[in-house]
Amino acid sequence: MLDIVDMVDSLIIPSVQKESDIEKAINSKSDVVFILTGNLLNMDKYIKELKKANKHAFIHIDFVEGLSNTKSAIEYIAKAWNPAGIITTRVSLIKYAKELGLYTIQRIFLIDHSALTKGIETSKSCHPDAVEVLPGLMPSIIDQLSHEIDFPIIAGGFIDNKQGILAAVKAGALAISSGNSRLWNIDIE
Protein backbone atom coordinates (compact mmCIF):
# COMPACT_ATOMS: atom_id res chain seq x y z
CA MET A 1 0.00 0.00 0.00
CA LEU A 2 1.34 3.42 -0.94
CA ASP A 3 1.86 6.03 1.69
CA ILE A 4 0.70 9.56 1.04
CA VAL A 5 4.22 10.80 0.30
CA ASP A 6 4.53 8.25 -2.51
CA MET A 7 1.14 9.29 -3.90
CA VAL A 8 2.09 12.94 -4.32
CA ASP A 9 4.20 13.36 -7.46
CA SER A 10 3.33 16.99 -8.16
CA LEU A 11 4.01 19.88 -5.82
CA ILE A 12 0.52 21.18 -6.59
CA ILE A 13 -2.67 19.39 -5.58
CA PRO A 14 -5.84 20.58 -7.32
CA SER A 15 -8.44 21.56 -4.76
CA VAL A 16 -11.69 21.36 -6.74
CA GLN A 17 -14.22 23.86 -5.40
CA LYS A 18 -16.74 23.83 -8.25
CA GLU A 19 -18.02 21.15 -10.61
CA SER A 20 -16.68 22.93 -13.68
CA ASP A 21 -13.12 22.36 -12.43
CA ILE A 22 -13.36 18.55 -12.22
CA GLU A 23 -12.26 18.19 -15.86
CA LYS A 24 -9.34 20.59 -15.29
CA ALA A 25 -8.22 18.49 -12.32
CA ILE A 26 -8.49 15.31 -14.40
CA ASN A 27 -6.24 16.90 -17.02
CA SER A 28 -3.77 18.31 -14.50
CA LYS A 29 -0.29 16.93 -13.86
CA SER A 30 -1.14 16.01 -10.28
CA ASP A 31 -1.76 12.44 -9.14
CA VAL A 32 -3.81 13.65 -6.14
CA VAL A 33 -7.01 15.72 -6.23
CA PHE A 34 -8.91 17.22 -3.31
CA ILE A 35 -12.69 17.41 -3.85
CA LEU A 36 -14.32 20.30 -1.98
CA THR A 37 -17.62 20.29 -3.84
CA GLY A 38 -20.38 17.88 -4.71
CA ASN A 39 -23.25 16.05 -3.13
CA LEU A 40 -24.58 12.57 -2.53
CA LEU A 41 -25.78 12.33 -6.13
CA ASN A 42 -22.64 13.30 -8.04
CA MET A 43 -19.70 12.32 -5.80
CA ASP A 44 -19.56 8.75 -7.09
CA LYS A 45 -19.27 10.07 -10.66
CA TYR A 46 -16.45 12.47 -9.70
CA ILE A 47 -14.46 9.74 -7.99
CA LYS A 48 -14.91 7.29 -10.88
CA GLU A 49 -13.77 9.95 -13.39
CA LEU A 50 -10.70 10.75 -11.29
CA LYS A 51 -9.83 7.08 -10.82
CA LYS A 52 -10.18 6.49 -14.56
CA ALA A 53 -7.56 9.23 -15.03
CA ASN A 54 -5.30 7.51 -12.45
CA LYS A 55 -5.86 10.21 -9.83
CA HIS A 56 -6.11 9.64 -6.07
CA ALA A 57 -9.30 11.39 -4.92
CA PHE A 58 -9.61 12.84 -1.42
CA ILE A 59 -13.06 14.03 -0.33
CA HIS A 60 -13.29 16.95 2.07
CA ILE A 61 -16.23 15.55 3.98
CA ASP A 62 -17.18 18.87 5.56
CA PHE A 63 -18.10 20.21 2.09
CA VAL A 64 -20.17 17.37 0.62
CA GLU A 65 -23.80 18.47 0.46
CA GLY A 66 -26.16 16.03 2.16
CA LEU A 67 -23.40 14.24 4.08
CA SER A 68 -23.26 14.39 7.86
CA ASN A 69 -20.05 14.21 9.85
CA THR A 70 -20.71 10.84 11.45
CA LYS A 71 -19.14 7.40 11.54
CA SER A 72 -21.91 6.05 9.30
CA ALA A 73 -21.06 8.71 6.71
CA ILE A 74 -17.40 7.62 6.78
CA GLU A 75 -18.48 4.00 6.40
CA TYR A 76 -20.67 4.94 3.42
CA ILE A 77 -17.81 6.87 1.81
CA ALA A 78 -15.43 3.93 2.25
CA LYS A 79 -17.83 1.27 0.95
CA ALA A 80 -19.88 3.10 -1.69
CA TRP A 81 -17.43 5.62 -3.15
CA ASN A 82 -14.06 4.17 -2.14
CA PRO A 83 -11.90 7.27 -2.61
CA ALA A 84 -8.24 7.25 -1.67
CA GLY A 85 -9.13 9.16 1.46
CA ILE A 86 -10.82 11.98 3.29
CA ILE A 87 -9.99 15.45 4.51
CA THR A 88 -11.55 16.79 7.70
CA THR A 89 -10.97 18.88 10.78
CA ARG A 90 -12.63 16.26 13.01
CA VAL A 91 -10.26 14.01 14.96
CA SER A 92 -12.82 11.25 15.67
CA LEU A 93 -13.60 10.91 11.96
CA ILE A 94 -9.91 10.64 11.09
CA LYS A 95 -9.50 7.78 13.54
CA TYR A 96 -12.54 5.94 12.18
CA ALA A 97 -11.61 6.51 8.53
CA LYS A 98 -8.17 5.02 9.20
CA GLU A 99 -9.84 1.94 10.72
CA LEU A 100 -11.76 1.54 7.45
CA GLY A 101 -8.60 1.73 5.36
CA LEU A 102 -8.95 5.29 4.05
CA TYR A 103 -6.04 7.71 3.95
CA THR A 104 -6.66 10.75 6.12
CA ILE A 105 -5.68 14.39 5.93
CA GLN A 106 -6.33 16.56 8.95
CA ARG A 107 -7.08 20.16 8.01
CA ILE A 108 -5.87 22.76 10.50
CA PHE A 109 -6.66 26.47 10.41
CA LEU A 110 -3.77 28.41 11.94
CA ILE A 111 -5.34 31.63 13.13
CA ASP A 112 -3.07 32.19 16.13
CA HIS A 113 -0.45 30.52 18.35
CA SER A 114 -3.02 28.58 20.36
CA ALA A 115 -4.49 27.14 17.14
CA LEU A 116 -0.97 26.00 16.20
CA THR A 117 -0.47 24.33 19.57
CA LYS A 118 -3.90 22.67 19.41
CA GLY A 119 -3.24 21.51 15.83
CA ILE A 120 0.01 19.84 16.88
CA GLU A 121 -1.71 18.13 19.82
CA THR A 122 -4.67 16.87 17.78
CA SER A 123 -2.52 15.57 14.94
CA LYS A 124 -0.39 13.64 17.40
CA SER A 125 -3.52 12.15 18.95
CA CYS A 126 -5.24 11.01 15.75
CA HIS A 127 -2.22 10.17 13.54
CA PRO A 128 -3.46 11.38 10.13
CA ASP A 129 -1.51 10.43 7.03
CA ALA A 130 -0.90 14.13 6.37
CA VAL A 131 -1.79 17.53 7.78
CA GLU A 132 -3.10 20.35 5.60
CA VAL A 133 -2.39 23.78 7.10
CA LEU A 134 -4.23 26.93 6.14
CA PRO A 135 -3.27 29.57 5.32
CA GLY A 136 -0.24 28.19 3.53
CA LEU A 137 1.65 31.46 3.19
CA MET A 138 3.54 31.00 6.43
CA PRO A 139 6.91 29.39 5.75
CA SER A 140 8.15 29.88 9.33
CA ILE A 141 5.07 28.09 10.72
CA ILE A 142 5.39 25.30 8.14
CA ASP A 143 9.02 24.91 9.20
CA GLN A 144 8.03 24.76 12.88
CA LEU A 145 5.30 22.20 12.19
CA SER A 146 7.61 20.03 10.11
CA HIS A 147 9.93 19.76 13.13
CA GLU A 148 7.16 19.10 15.67
CA ILE A 149 4.96 16.53 13.92
CA ASP A 150 5.85 13.37 12.05
CA PHE A 151 3.27 13.75 9.28
CA PRO A 152 3.67 15.22 5.79
CA ILE A 153 2.43 18.80 5.55
CA ILE A 154 0.31 20.15 2.72
CA ALA A 155 0.03 23.95 2.64
CA GLY A 156 -3.17 25.51 1.35
CA GLY A 157 -4.77 28.91 1.08
CA PHE A 158 -3.53 32.20 -0.32
CA ILE A 159 -0.73 30.62 -2.37
CA ASP A 160 -1.23 32.02 -5.84
CA ASN A 161 2.13 31.95 -7.59
CA LYS A 162 5.28 29.90 -8.17
CA GLN A 163 7.22 31.79 -5.50
CA GLY A 164 4.61 30.94 -2.86
CA ILE A 165 4.69 27.27 -3.87
CA LEU A 166 8.48 27.14 -3.69
CA ALA A 167 8.55 28.96 -0.33
CA ALA A 168 6.10 26.47 1.20
CA VAL A 169 8.03 23.48 -0.14
CA LYS A 170 11.37 24.92 0.95
CA ALA A 171 9.93 25.38 4.45
CA GLY A 172 9.03 21.70 4.61
CA ALA A 173 5.67 21.20 2.88
CA LEU A 174 5.24 18.06 0.78
CA ALA A 175 2.99 19.98 -1.62
CA ILE A 176 0.45 22.79 -1.75
CA SER A 177 -3.27 22.51 -2.38
CA SER A 178 -4.88 25.18 -4.50
CA GLY A 179 -8.31 25.99 -5.82
CA ASN A 180 -6.68 28.16 -8.49
CA SER A 181 -6.74 26.01 -11.64
CA ARG A 182 -4.17 28.35 -13.20
CA LEU A 183 -1.56 26.76 -10.91
CA TRP A 184 -2.48 23.10 -11.49
CA ASN A 185 -0.11 22.60 -14.41
CA ILE A 186 2.58 25.12 -13.57
CA ASP A 187 6.12 23.86 -14.13
CA ILE A 188 8.13 23.72 -10.94
CA GLU A 189 11.75 22.73 -11.31
Residue 188 lies in a domain: no
Domain at 23, CATH number:
3.20.20.70
Residue 146: partners with Cβ closer than 8 Å, 6 or more residues away: 153, 171, 172, 173
Q: Please provide the average confidence, as pLDDT, over all residues in the chain.
A: 94
Q: 30 pLDDT exceeds 80?
A: yes
Contact in structure between 37 and 61 (CB atoms under 8 Å)? no
- Region 116-137 average pLDDT: 93
pLDDT tens for each residue of 3-13: 888 888 899 99
Residue 9 lies in a domain: yes
Find, among 40, 43, 49, 12, the residue nearest to 28 by Cα: 12
pLDDT tens for each residue of 73-116: 999 999 999 999 999 999 999 999 999 999 999 999 998 989 99
Q: 178 pLDDT exceeds 90?
A: yes
Residue 29 lies in a domain: yes
Find, among 189, 185, 177, the residue nearest to 17 by Cα: 177
pLDDT tens for each residue of 147-168: 999 999 999 999 999 999 999 9
Residue 187 lies in a domain: no
Residue 189 lies in a domain: no
Cα(56)–Cα(50) distance, rounded to whole angstroms?
Answer: 7
> Residue 57's domain spans which residues?
4-182
Cα(69)–Cα(47) distance, rounded to whole angstroms?
Answer: 19
How many domains, in total, are found in the chain?
A: 1
Residue 112 lies in a domain: yes
Residue 1: pLDDT band with limits 50, 70, 90: low
Q: What angle do CA 51, 54, 58 make, to 5 degrees?
A: 55
User: What single-letter DSSP state applies at residue 112?
Assistant: S
pLDDT tens for each residue of 35-85: 999 999 999 999 999 999 999 999 999 999 998 889 999 999 999 999 999
Residue 79 lies in a domain: yes
Residue 146 lies in a domain: yes
Q: What is the pTM of this model?
A: 0.93
